[in-house]
Structure 1
Amino acid sequence: MKNILALAALCAAFTAHVAESTPQAALDQFLKFELDGGRLHNDTEGYYEQVHLVDASKTEALTCDGARCKAIVTYTYAPTAGLDMEQAVPHPKGGSAQVEYIVQQKGGQWQVETGKDTPHVSRLAMEKMLREGL
C-alpha cells in the first residue's frame, strides 16, 4: 500500500492558511480542508507518515479575545482494528479526542494557525485517495 509520502508527492499543492472574514468561517473552511486530506497535498506543510482517520467532527467551542480565538474540535476516530491501512494512527476501537486550534485575525482576515501536528482526515476521503492513487 502506498504511504503518505507517496500520496503527497503525487498531489497538487493547496494552501492550508485559509483567510476568511469571520473566525467561524475560517475554522469551517480549514476543517473541510483538513478532513478532505488537504494538508497531505500541501508542499508547505511537509509530509506525514500517518494520519488520524476520522468518522466525525464537531466544533465544541470558539472563544475570542480580540484578534485571537481558540476553537475546540472533538474528533470521533474511525476504529482501526482490522483495517489494512498502515497510514492510520492506531485507534483500534475508535474513540474521540479534543483538539485546540488558534484562529487569528491578520490584515483584516481570519485564518487558522496550522502546525506540524498529525492531520485529521476523513476515513472516506483517505479511502478515496488510496483507491484513486492520489
Structure 2
Amino acid sequence: MSFDVPDERRYLESHEWALETDGVVRVGITDFAQDELGDVVFVELPDEGDALEQEGEFGVVESIKAVSDLYAPVSGEVVAVNDDLFDAPELVNDDPFGDGWMLEIDPDDTDELEDLLTADEYEDQIA
C-alpha cells in the first residue's frame, strides 16, 4: 500500500509531521498513522499558550482501534489549535495533511526541524 508523504514536511518516527511556514510550525499526524489507527473518534489537544518540548507529549488521538499519544516535533508555544477536530475528528482520516492539522507552534528554535526525518527517511521507516 502506498501512503502520501509530502516532501516539504519533516517527520517524527512516531508519525507526526511538521510544516514550517512564516516562522510557525503546523503539526498533524501522517497518512500512514491515520490509516493504522482506523476511524478517529476523539482528539485531545493542548491549549493555546501551552509550552511544548521537542518530542514531549502534547495530546492524544483516539480511534475505534487504539489510543495513541501525540509528540511535538519542536519546542515552543502553542499559538493555534484546530478546534474543528473537536466536532469532526474524522478530518484526521479524511485529510491528515490539510484540514486534519492539529496545532501550530511558535518554535523556540526552527533548527530543531533539522533533527526530524525527511520525507525519504520517513518513507523508508514505514516501508
Which one has a larger percent helix, Structure 1 or Structure 2?
Answer: 1
For the pair shown, which has the larger CA radius of gyration, 1 or 2?
1
TM-score normalised by the chain length of structure 2: 0.27
TM-score normalised per structure 1: 0.27
